[in-house]
């Protein structure tokens, strides 16, 4: 980090990378990068960043929020049905 009297600068060191890829793929990727208004280097760097990030597991909240709401009538008493089923099954 460089600091002068008015500003602080964070210098990120970049390194060159030589790749060998099929010419037609390179042309398609250049066209894609152009349409997205980014450089091919930024595109490759972004891809590398995504693939090395640790996989984040879904939280229980995410899973529950994506579940479908069951179609249960409001007048249905699930607690009493549960105990009736237990009584039928085990004679409790």
Confidence of residue 25 (pLDDT cuts 50, 70, 90): very high
Is residue 37 scored above 90 in pLDDT?
A: yes
Strands, E assignment, 4-76: 8-9
The structural domains of the chain, ordered by start, are 15-57 (1.10.1220)
68: pLDDT strictly greater than 80: yes
Q: Are 46 and 56 in contact (CB under 8 A)?
A: no
pLDDT of residue 24: 96
Q: Over the stretch 2-16, which tens digit does the pLDDT of each residue have?
A: 556 666 667 788 888
The predicted pLDDT at position 11 comes to 73
Beta strands in 1-92 (DSSP E): 2-3, 8-9
């Amino acid at each position: 980090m460089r600091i002068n009297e008015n500003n602080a600068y964070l210098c990120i060191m970049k390194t060159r990378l030589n790749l060998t890829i099929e010419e037609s793929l390179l042309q398609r990727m250049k066209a894609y990068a152009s349409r997205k208004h980014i450089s091919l280097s930024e595109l490759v760097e972004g891809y590398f960043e995504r693939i090395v990030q640790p996989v984040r597991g879904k939280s229980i909240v995410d899973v529950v929020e994506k579940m479908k709401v069951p179609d249960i009538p409001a007048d249905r008493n699930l607690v009493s049905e549960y105990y009736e089923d237990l009584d039928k099954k085990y004679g409790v």
